[in-house]
Chain A
Amino acid sequence: MKPFTYERPGDVSTALALVAEIPGARFLAGGTNLVDLMKLQIEQPSHLVDISRLPLRAIEDTPEGGLRLGAMTTNSQVAADPRVRARYPALAQAILSGASGQLRNKATTAGNLLQRTRCAYFYDTTKPCNKREPGAGCAAIGGIYANTAIFGASEACIATHPSDMAVALTALDAKVETESGAGEARVLAMDGFHRLPGDTPHIETELRPAEMITAVVLPPPPPGGQIYRKARERASYAFAIGSVAVAGGKVALGAVAHKPWRAEAAELALAQGASPAEAMAAELKAARPDGHNDFKLKLMARLGAACLTTAGAGDDQ
């Protein structure tokens, strides 16, 4: 690790001011992604502002009948919450399908959304990567790593977003609340919070420098079934090679794009009376596999159809 300094301010405004003022300063939440990447010198903050103990750790009911998850709630805390389990089972399942018990005890809601890709060449600092070093090139294109995007990839980057939780939040139409210096607050829709790579794959979300996620807000649960299912290379404790979240008539796919992929074509087809298999076929028409990741077409077609059937999506159309 490169040397850095550390502090733990007692309130949100001080934390915002510190990260805005100190060049190279970063927020530290659970640290399960940031510290890992610092060990590899892929991340090299000069100063860490520890926000894990800030009063952003509550799960509250909203007047509309939804839930507000404080940014520093842990993944374990959210998945264990009786309200989440009863009203947002797809979210509980998505969180519980990620990482391990130990990691979920540290990982936070905000940190999970902002975790970086698991592209093997992003981690291999002897190989070129536009995400690590803009303009360097992309070793994954033509490389042997196959857990890459089939939607929305660019010539600069074909990586996928690794979060399970974010896929469920996208299907649930969650919103991300943020704050930056001088108390400026924004609300961003989950669908659109993460970006496609384009020619700036190092810019991964709509979050501005020194802007802090303060909460994720769930709208009231949609009518209809919910489910999250994930395919991976071992039975547990592995990142997705494909995943599906269904919440009412909303569908999102994981490990297929640089962001959680809202399956709008599938949703539209379902609304028009298509079968689960037809809906997935409609979505996958726009997929562009690259020869290494062709397996994702069949995988997503089957996983998606199975999830839609189990959740009963489209049943009452």
Chain B
Amino acid sequence: MKTSFTLNGQAASLDLDPRTTLLDALRENLGLKGSKKGCDHGQCGACTVLVNGRRINACLSLAVTHEGDEITTIEGLAQGEALHPVQAAFLEHDAFQCGYCTPGQICSTVGMLQEAADGWASLATQDLAADTVLTDEEIRERMSGNLCRCSAYPQILAAIRSAGGVA
């Protein structure tokens, strides 16, 4: 089935078996191996990508449903040699060990910071009417969809704090 979307700013067209997930289309059909397959069941966040600016799990989304969407993967965050601020923060804070969860963590962070900027609440938000303040507790709750098997959580938290949370 023919499907076209914008991938990291460039047009992409594919002829896909409808069973292909967005994750498999990115990795196998388009050769972008940055997005990782951890669980393939929405349970780990390693496959997180941005669709129209919002973070989703690419493993639970059929590629054919993304006709016309704008998809951003870890490969599309940097501007040439200039890293995205979240990528730079992860490097600076040593926010990974094996690195397997990292592309998902970074894409998820970019999406999460936008959600916070849009004023979305989380379960850690005490006052649902108040402005969003990204405390450590808020960051942990909002990032709970990204597991890190190496447990680099303290460094991930520090990186996100410096990239957009409350210092």
Contact = CB atoms under 8 A, between A and B. Distances in A.
29 contacts: A3-B17, A3-B19, A6-B62, A6-B64, A31-B65, A32-B42, A32-B57, A35-B61, A39-B40, A50-B65, A80-B119, A80-B120, A85-B129, A93-B123, A96-B123, A100-B145, A101-B55, A101-B108, A101-B122, A101-B143, A103-B56, A105-B55, A105-B56, A105-B111, A106-B56, A106-B57, A236-B123, A236-B140, A236-B144
Interface residues of B, number: 40
B62 A35 contact: yes
A101 B112 contact: yes
B1 interface: yes
Nearest to A92: B128
Contacts of B15: none
Contacts of A28: 62, 65
Interface of B: 1, 17-19, 21, 40-42, 45, 48, 54-57, 60-62, 64-65, 67, 108, 111-112, 115, 118-123, 125, 128-129, 140-146
Contacts of B19: 1, 3-4
Closest 5 CB pairs of A and B: A100-B145, A236-B144, A6-B18, A237-B144, A85-B128
Interface residues of A, number: 35
Given A48-B18, A103-B57, A237 B65 contact: no
B123 A97 contact: yes
Interface of A: 1, 3-6, 8, 28, 31-32, 35-36, 39, 48, 50, 52, 76, 79-80, 85-86, 89, 92-93, 96-97, 99-103, 105-106, 235-237
Contacts of B21: 35
A184 B60 CA distance: 32
